[in-house]
Amino acid sequence: MLKARRNQINGLLFVSPWIVGFLVFITYPVLASLYYSLTKYDVIHPPEFRGLGNYLDLILRDDVFRIALLNTLYMIVVGTVVITVVTITIAIVLNNRQIRGLSVFRVVFFIPTLVPLVILCIVWIWILQPQTGLLNTCLSYVGIRGPGWLADPRLAKPAFIMMFLWTSGGAVIIYLAGLQDIPETLYEVASIDGAGFLRRTFTITVPLLSPVILFNVVTYVIGIFQSFAESFIITSGGPDRSTLFYSLYLYQNAFQYFKMGLASAMAWILLIIAALFIAILLGLERRFGYRQ
């Protein structure tokens, strides 16, 4: 008994640096943000308690908050569908062992994920330039006059989806790993029964790949809710607030307008919304996903 207690004490001593770090750098900031979300706080003056006032102001009176939330939801709903369909399609193509040089293509698709975020944003500013950008230059070769991608409120968010798609090589690699676990015998039996490519895809590939799809979709949703640097560097929320995403507006409230209480309330609303989204995704996967 004494030896077990001594081992327990030694174990706690070994993990104590992590416990202290967790309490100081994670638990305390979380609890502090919850308190500040219930106050009017501008860093300079002491916080003034106002209950749920910040939450009511955001939900009922702040039109910019609703714009930022709708922009983010657009990126989640439309972006999730586009990126999931394209990345699964690329993974299925790359999983074909009859194509030569597959390893080269896999590396090519994965390389963009290694580009630092700031460099990535600068590259895409150049790609989407209306006059000299790479994308519009390529369109001009086929007789299409390219639009001002980042200057048009209708095209700014699709332009960001293209950029996120370009950096989705990690998702492609994960889908490839999931495809490797699907037995080839299932496809062979389906082919014997006369099932075509599309039918095999929707009756075998997609259902058996559902746990991997769930992981990538949840990762993407969390990434979009946290997306800040892209819109901050490329458009600063413009044009006409069409790329003012949730995290960017949270940053503006906290560090430009010094409304720390309002920003803290936004952080907790974001936590609730993200938790609801993930709960819905988990429920859909549990209802329609594959179970062994």
Per-residue pLDDT tens over the stretch 153-174: 999 999 999 999 999 989 998 9
pLDDT score at 163: 93
Alpha-carbon span 26 to 35, nearest angstrom: 14
pLDDT score at 138: 92
**Within the chain, which residues score under 70 in pLDDT?**
1, 97-98, 289-292
The answer, as to whether pTM is greater than 0.75, is: yes
- Domain 59-288 has what CATH class? mainly alpha
Question: Does residue 50 contact residue 272 with C-beta atoms inside 8 Å?
Answer: no
pLDDT score at 252: 96
State both tokens at 138.
């390529």
